[in-house]
Amino acid sequence: MKLRRAQLEGLLGRLGGRLATFDTEQARRKREHLRGRRRSAALTQGHVDLQHHTADGATSVIELRLDRFEHRRRGALTRIHRNLERRIAWRALRSEARRFPEHQALQDLLAAETELLELMDHPELERE
């Protein structure tokens, strides 16, 4: 399978925009904040604070290496990245994205992973 230039640019635009700006530590802090808010709300309403744990969640790892990437939002150039290298690892991504639908960074990371997996599983993809 060969991607046309427009397809490749579209793919990089969607993935690069999501991944170039992803901050793992900030995303983890936001998740903990949301988790704490849920616990507080449950206790305030007199509910038992149930703990959630994914026992055997897979770790999603996405590595991105681009010589140059122009990050655009709604047609406006917001930043040019040079020698962009990013490695993102997140345990139980699908489970956490389901648990925290309001966490946009996790939703974006899951969307990027899903798009990459769909591309890798495409029947016309030629493997060398």
Whether 87 is in a domain gets the answer: yes
Whether 52 is in a domain gets the answer: no
Whether 43 is in a domain gets the answer: no
The phi and psi torsions of 8 (rounded to 5 degrees) equal -65, -45
What is the overall mean pLDDT for the chain?
A: 81
pLDDT of residue 18: 78
Mean local confidence (pLDDT), 18-47: 87
What's the domain range around 29?
5-37+57-120
pLDDT digits (tens, 9 = 90+) for 43-63: 787 766 566 666 667 999 999
User: Virtual CA dihedral for 21, 94, 7, 16, nearest 10 degrees?
Assistant: 10
Please count the structural domains in the chain.
1
The phi and psi torsions of 37 (rounded to 5 degrees) equal -65, -40
pLDDT of residue 122: 75
Whether 49 is in a domain gets the answer: no
pLDDT of residue 48: 63
Whether 50 is in a domain gets the answer: no
Whether 128 is in a domain gets the answer: no
93 pLDDT higher than 90: yes
Per-position DSSP letters for 91-110, written without gaps between them = ETHHHHHHH-TT-HHHHHHH
Whether 26 is in a domain gets the answer: yes
42 pLDDT higher than 90: no
